[in-house]
Amino acid sequence: MALRIEDYAFIGDTHTAALVGRNGSIDWLCLPRLDSPACFAKLLGEDDNGFWRIAPKGVTANTTRQYRGDTLVLETTFETAEGAATLIDFMPWRRSTRHADLIRIVRCDRGRITMEMRLALRFAYGRSVPWVRRANHGITAIAGPDTVDIHTTVQMHGEGFQTVAEFDMEAGDSVPFRLHWHLSHEDEPDRLLDADNALSETTERWKAWSAHYTGDGLYRDEVMRSLITLKALTYSPTGGIAAAATTSLPEQIGGPRNWDYRFCWLRDATFTLYSMLVSGFLEEARAWREWLVRAVAGNPQDVQVLYGLSGERLQPEWEVPWLRGYEDSAPVRVGNAAHSQLQLDVFGEVMDALHTASRLGVTPTKEEWAVQRALLGFLEEHWQEPDEGLWEVRGGRRHFTHSRVMAWVAFDRAVKAVERFGMDGPVERWRKLRAQVHAEVCEQGFSTKRKAFVQSYDAEHLDASLLMIPLVGFLPASDPRVQGTLEAVAKHLTVDGLVQRYDTSTGTDGLPGGEGAFLACSFWFADNLHLAGRDQEAKELFEHLLTLRNDVGLLSEEWDRGLKRQVGNFPQAFSHVALINSAHNIGGIEEPARDRAKA
């Protein structure tokens, strides 16, 4: 059985990532990309679906862990009565899309200790048992297109369709393990990779990247860890940014709201880009902009809400029946049917992110502006249509207020592109559309009964997405309608300071009710408190949210208040983006909430 979600840490190479449990077990790894089939899938099933554990044998150990400074090198220390050992896990930054490495180094720090390694490689999401044979370097495992070589200095043997090893260590001893993936029809290169050199190079590479962030405010370390997480979710060959490293971690334990998040949502990627821009990482902005232009190239009416890491369009959703799901939360899904939905808010988010990039020094290209013009042309014709909205409902299209607000953002940023950067376009038409959308939202999206903006034009339901209204500059935080929305969300969607997206018990989203509090919305609530001048409340809420991170600073998508644990896919870009922006707002380093509102 898998551990609690927060008991996992995260390592990666900006191509793919692995989840490492505090018990020394890697229970999730997809190769060669984040969205490839998993070769370790115990996270969503059983031992027989694949894992790789290294830990003290036969004893209960006191376990602590940390990342090595501002890097993604994980150190897990096991303390026993006889000795102590540290397991160092990392993935060297890739030089090729055709090869991948994951390295584990066991170092004995004190006394004597007996360590055990257990490996169950299972390709195709835990279904395919590879053919394993001995080799001079250790073992080679082959299944279809995949080959994994395990290099180590200890003797391994087979046992019940697993590969196992047992080895004694004394203080000062070090034992390396290297997992190397390559295509089965190609020869394996670089058999002599030195684990210690790879550790030094990987550590220095992460430190060099992290050094671009010069913030030293109140929440510097929390922001840095989140930025590193976002970088690791970036597919470096293309600049695409994944929403999370996992699929099907449930929004409610035992429930069916289990989705595949290993893709690039335009919305999530723009939020991620924004947080990196305000933190000074302009190269990521340039890479994402180029990915965006390639991904959406073509007919604007074919623009999708999500794409593959390289911009692939087809992401059919299917279920994996041989995996029982995380803590029996079925089904396990691969792919995401939301790729075919209409979500009009993404047009505003894309325009806003590119506008921010321009303001912060990423000079727009003619091609980029041409793509934006095409998107705006589509939005001009379709902004009044119902859509599936920010939360990707499966209960039918509606006139979501948040979608209309973001349509206003799109036209607003287009006007400002002309006014501030001299871009060409029908600015008068865009000004009229901006005013028209604004008037419609204020008339049809605001409930006089609720004294708040509501989820859609045809209902009185509240929605935490409307906390974005002052954050994008649609209305100032001082506006009574914004204040009324804040108070309504506080009263009806908030428990113990944590905010739900909306009331899922209504059934209007086409899914069974029940999910955790949505962490990004809770950070937005703190930003709203800050903008309203309620700084002490904002700080208290923000610091409470920080306590929900796990011991190495990671957040999933949601928090189950009853079980007091993380739920949803992990680590979640949306949550870390919101943390970064709130830290800047409340910590007084920068204030993206005020900056973005002024645009």
CATH of the domain at 571: 1.50.10.10
One-letter amino acid identity for 388?
E
- What pLDDT score does 273 carry? 82
- What pLDDT score does 568 carry? 97
Does 307 lie in the same domain as 223? yes
pTM: 0.95
- What pLDDT score does 263 carry? 95
Residue 204 lies in a domain: no
Does 163 lie in the same domain as 292? no
DSSP secondary structure string for all residues of 8-55: EEEEE-SS-EEEEETTSEEEEEESSSTTSPEEE-GGGS-GGG-EEEEE
- What pLDDT score does 338 carry? 86
Please state at what angle helix 535-546 crosses helix 519-531, rounded to 10 degrees: 160
Phi, psi of 509, deg, nearest 5: -90, 0
pLDDT in tens, the chain (599 residues): 899 999 999 999 999 999 999 999 999 999 999 999 999 999 999 999 999 999 999 888 999 999 999 999 999 999 999 999 999 999 999 988 889 999 999 999 999 999 999 999 999 999 999 999 999 899 999 999 999 999 999 999 999 999 999 999 999 999 999 999 999 988 765 556 799 999 999 999 999 999 999 787 789 999 999 999 999 999 999 999 999 999 999 999 999 989 999 999 988 877 888 888 888 888 888 898 888 888 887 777 778 889 999 999 878 999 999 999 999 999 999 999 888 888 999 999 989 988 988 888 888 888 889 989 999 999 999 999 999 998 888 788 999 999 999 999 999 999 999 999 999 999 999 999 999 999 999 999 999 999 999 999 988 999 999 999 999 999 999 999 999 999 999 999 998 889 999 888 777 767 776 788 999 999 999 999 999 999 999 999 999 999 999 999 999 999 999 999 999 999 999 999 999 999 998 987 556 656 665 66
- From 570, 548, 456, select the one nearest 503 (Cα to Cα): 456
Residue 599 lies in a domain: no
- Residue 413, number of CB atoms within 10 A of its CB: 26
Distance between CA 591 and CA 597 in Å, rounded? 10
User: Chain centroid to CA 151: how far?
Assistant: 31
Does 580 lie in the same domain as 526? yes
CATH of the domain at 28: 2.70.98.40
Does 299 lie in the same domain as 367? yes
Does 166 lie in the same domain as 264? no
533 class by beta-carbon count within 10 Å (0-12 exposed, 13-18 middle, 19+ buried): exposed
Contacts of 282 (CB under 8 A, 6+ apart): 357, 360, 361, 362
Cis peptide before 92 (omega within 30 of 0): no
Does 182 lie in the same domain as 216? no
Give the total number of structural domains in the chain. Answer: 2
What three-state secondary structure class fits 291?
A: helix
Residue 149 lies in a domain: yes
Residue 491: domain span: 210-591
Distance between CA 412 and CA 406 in Å, rounded? 9
Among candidate residues 156, 188, 220, the one where a domain is terminated: 188
Distance between CA 427 and CA 43 in Å, rounded? 52
User: Chain centroid to CA 545: how far?
Assistant: 17
- The answer to whether 236 and 14 are in contact (CB under 8 A) is yes
Does 474 lie in the same domain as 561? yes
Among candidate residues 154, 188, 222, the one where a domain is terminated: 188
Residue 499 lies in a domain: yes
Residue 194 lies in a domain: no
What three-state secondary structure class fits 226?
A: helix
- The answer to whether 546 and 218 are in contact (CB under 8 A) is no
Residue 196 lies in a domain: no
DSSP secondary structure string for all residues of 475-541: S-TTSHHHHHHHHHHHHHTEETTEE-SS-GGG-TTSS-S---EEHHHHHHHHHHHHHTT-HHHHHHH
172 class by beta-carbon count within 10 Å (0-12 exposed, 13-18 middle, 19+ buried): exposed
Does 486 lie in the same domain as 341? yes
**Position of tokens 């959308």?**
437
Residue 468 lies in a domain: yes
Distance between CA 369 and CA 59 in Å, rounded? 62
What three-state secondary structure class fits 235?
A: strand
| Helix residue ranges, H only, 422-472 | 427-444, 468-471
Among candidate residues 153, 188, 223, the one where a domain is terminated: 188
- The answer to whether 522 and 532 are in contact (CB under 8 A) is no
Residue 167 lies in a domain: yes
Does 249 lie in the same domain as 151? no
Phi, psi of 441, deg, nearest 5: -60, -45
Per DSSP (E only), the strands in 91-145 are: 99-120, 131-135, 138-143
Does 576 lie in the same domain as 433? yes
Please state at what angle helix 282-296 crosses helix 266-278, rounded to 10 degrees: 160
Does 231 lie in the same domain as 278? yes
Does 54 lie in the same domain as 180? yes
- The answer to whether 66 and 34 are in contact (CB under 8 A) is no
Residue 96 host element (H or E): none
- What pLDDT score does 95 carry? 83
Contacts of 422 (CB under 8 A, 6+ apart): none
- What pLDDT score does 295 carry? 86
313 class by beta-carbon count within 10 Å (0-12 exposed, 13-18 middle, 19+ buried): middle
One-letter amino acid identity for 574?
F
Distance between CA 296 and CA 289 in Å, rounded? 11
